[in-house]
């Protein structure tokens, strides 16, 4: 019962307003460290996560679902939502040119401290076209340390793609370590379908590189393709985020079974 007596506030009894249609807000967790995974598997109803490769995303989703079951929940109680930042063009060339245009808009003085801070580096504006040496990340000891999930993601980009400082800043400026995909509407739909069918994602947190145009082109060009494939709804099942995610309304812990009475009543 809501019965509290403190130095400044005293209150007694339940709040005399109806319960939220969602029961309580959807609990969203972000972060893929060991501690973050433990928290997400036990409590989260949705997880906002960052992965560059399909195989890593599949392993992460499987791990979270295993942790959820170990906590007495169902694996379907947690929706895995990787971030995806799409540069979309009518052709691959147009999409690549759009990404390059945004990379050219970078303000190195603003973005360099973020990169340097991840790995204790000292890159300057004179180093923008320097390929980042692997020694720069390995010296930190955090390359694949699961207690530093964002450093781990960025280190993976450096190891696989060997980008210049400028190129990496472009990846981090908008998506902040989340996956950047450049291509046509069909190619964007293809990669979403691939990840979904592989079990890597229940949905995606779309992070357009610019507003409103980046969101508009996704809605107008990509969503219809997903709908044609039966992968995206054509109408919403309810009015809440919880209903859109297909999550159950949590049981009211203040609901009690009255002796001699059928059914449940609110305390």
- Using one digit for the tens of pLDDT, what is the confidence trace for 176-229? 788 999 999 999 999 999 999 999 999 999 999 999 999 999 999 999 999 999
pTM of whole model > 0.85? no
CATH number at residue 127: 3.20.20.30
Domain count, the chain: 1
Note whether residue 220 is domain-resident.
Answer: yes
Identify the top-confidence range among 78-87, 106-115, 161-170.
Answer: 78-87
pLDDT digits (tens, 9 = 90+) for 1-38: 678 889 998 888 777 788 889 999 999 999 888 999 99
Q: What residues make up the domain containing 44?
A: 3-259
Greater confidence, 231 or 251? 231
Note whether residue 264 is domain-resident.
Answer: no
Note whether residue 86 is domain-resident.
Answer: yes
Tell me the mean pLDDT in the region 32-60: 94
Note whether residue 123 is domain-resident.
Answer: yes
What band does 264 get if pLDDT is binned at 50, 70 and 90? Answer: very low
Q: How many whole angstroms separate alpha carbon 204 and alpha carbon 80?
A: 8
Using an 8 Å Cβ cutoff, are 2 and 12 in contact? yes
Note whether residue 194 is domain-resident.
Answer: yes
C-alpha of 87 from chain center = 18
- CA-nearest of 186, 191, 155, 185 to 171 is 155
Residue-level pLDDT at 147: 44
Greater confidence, 122 or 78? 78
Greater confidence, 189 or 263? 189
Is the predicted pLDDT of residue 262 greater than 50, yes or no?
Answer: no
CB atoms within 10 A of CB 200: 22
Helices (H), 120-181: 134-138, 149-161, 165-175
pLDDT digits (tens, 9 = 90+) for 106-149: 888 888 888 888 788 889 888 888 998 888 776 554 444 454 56
Residue-level pLDDT at 246: 92
Query: What is the β-pairing status of strands 3-5 and 10-12?
Result: antiparallel
Is the predicted pLDDT of residue 258 greater than 70, yes or no?
Answer: no
The secondary structure element, H or E, covering residue 95 is helix 92-104
Greater confidence, 175 or 102? 102
Residue-level pLDDT at 139: 53
Note whether residue 19 is domain-resident.
Answer: yes
- The residue whose two tokens read 């972000």 is 30
Note whether residue 267 is domain-resident.
Answer: no
Residue-level pLDDT at 194: 98
CB atoms within 10 A of CB 188: 24
Residue-level pLDDT at 76: 92
Note whether residue 265 is domain-resident.
Answer: no
């Amino acid at each position: 019962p809501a019965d509290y007596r403190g130095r400044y506030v005293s209150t007694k009894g339940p709040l005399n307003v109806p319960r939220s249609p969602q029961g309580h807000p959807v609990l969203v967790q972000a972060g893929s460290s060991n501690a973050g995974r433990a928290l997400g598997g036990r409590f989260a109803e949705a997880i906002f996560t960052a992965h560059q490769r399909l195989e890593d995303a599949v392993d992460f989703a499987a791990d979270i679902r295993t942790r959820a079951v170990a906590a007495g929940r169902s694996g379907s109680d947690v929706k895995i939502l990787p971030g995806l930042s799409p540069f979309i063009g009518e052709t691959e060339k147009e999409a690549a040119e759009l990404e390059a245009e945004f990379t050219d808009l970078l303000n190195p003085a603003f973005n360099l401290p973020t990169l340097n801070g991840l790995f204790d580096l000292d890159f300057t504006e004179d180093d923008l076209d320097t390929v980042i040496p692997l020694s720069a990340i390995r010296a930190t000891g955090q390359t694949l340390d699961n207690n530093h999930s964002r450093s781990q993601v960025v280190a993976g980009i450096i190891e696989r793609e060997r980008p210049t400082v400028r190129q990496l800043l472009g990846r981090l400026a908008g998506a902040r370590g989340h996956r950047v995909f450049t291509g046509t509407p069909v190619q964007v739909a293809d990669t979403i379908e691939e990840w979904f069918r592989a079990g890597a994602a229940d949905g995606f947190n779309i992070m357009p590189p610019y507003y409103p145009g980046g969101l508009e082109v996704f809605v107008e060009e990509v969503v219809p393709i997903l709908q044609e494939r039966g992968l995206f709804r054509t109408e919403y099942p309810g009015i809440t985020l919880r209903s859109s995610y297909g999550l159950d309304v949590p049981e009211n812990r203040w609901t009690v079974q009255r002796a001699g009475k059928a059914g449940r009543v609110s305390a």
